Amino acid sequence: MDGSVWVILPTYNEADNLEAVVGGIRAATPEVHILVVDDNSPDGTGRLADGMAETDARLHVLHRPGKSGLGRAYTAGFAYALEQDAGYVVEMDADLSHDPADLPRLIAAAVDGADLVLGSRYTTGGGIENWGLERRIISRVGCSYARRVLGVKVRDLTGGFKCFRAETLRAIDAASAEAQGYGFQVELTYRVLSLGLKVVEVPIRFRERRLGESKMSAHIALEAAWRVPALRFGPRRWRPLEAARSSADAVPNEG
């Protein structure tokens, strides 16, 4: 493997879940680095992470002054990992909705040549557990809407379990992404596709969080809805940072 793997865990009030998710990551992938990006959680998640880091040399904690959105937490984590010469960077929820046991398959697909690996709920073999009908419909409609507007065939554009090659993150200029929540996930994946890079979907089973409250809101869903056409038809600020093997007029990869 060319370079270390860093798993980014954004947290806000995840004290009930943190030890379990870190333990699961360690059991599945003992050698990875874990970066907890905590937004000054009132429930003490950041302090808990600091205590865990004292006995785990590959567990790191990045404290931010307050809650400013999932996208900003991830881009801060990306920057930290890239500064440490990460070879691969994984996005993962800290609430156990993403199964740590799936990490080896995502990482293996990236090592095998994918520029971006998506943990996909909607490809063959994937699925969702413990969601009600309304939320299932909203998620399906959101993915279908984004696929049609953007003109791509990736099935799960809104998922947040991903493995990037480090050079992919640099090529798409992830730090300049403006969206949050679902919109952030769509934006990063579309930037990769628009450069003609290789995107692979690996099936996963997504599980509703067991403890704590969902961070999903109507504002996040609405933001994703209006940002999708802006991605397709607006200026591509990441174009000057294309990967060396991509041309300026690359056709979007169809997954």
CATH of the domain at 112: 3.90.550.10
- Structural domains counted in the chain: 1
What is the rounded distance in angstroms from the CA atom of residue 242 to the CA atom of residue 37? Answer: 27
Q: Which residue has the tokens 């704590």?
A: 212
Query: Would residue 254 count as lying in a domain?
Result: no
- pLDDT 10s digits, 40-67: 999 999 999 999 999 999 999 999 999 9
Query: Would residue 208 count as lying in a domain?
Result: yes
Angle, CA of 243, 36 and 126, to the nearest 5°: 65
Query: Would residue 247 count as lying in a domain?
Result: no
Least confident of 31-40, 68-77, 116-125, 239-248: 239-248
pLDDT at 112: 97
Residue 8 near residue 32, CB atoms below 8 Å: no
Whether the predicted model's global pTM rises above the 0.75 cut: yes
pLDDT at 226: 58
What is the rounded distance in angstroms from the CA atom of residue 190 to the CA atom of residue 29? Answer: 28
Query: Would residue 249 count as lying in a domain?
Result: no
Give the range of the structural domain holding residue 28, as residue numbers without chain letter: 4-241
pLDDT at 231: 77
User: Rounded mean pLDDT of 109-113?
Assistant: 97
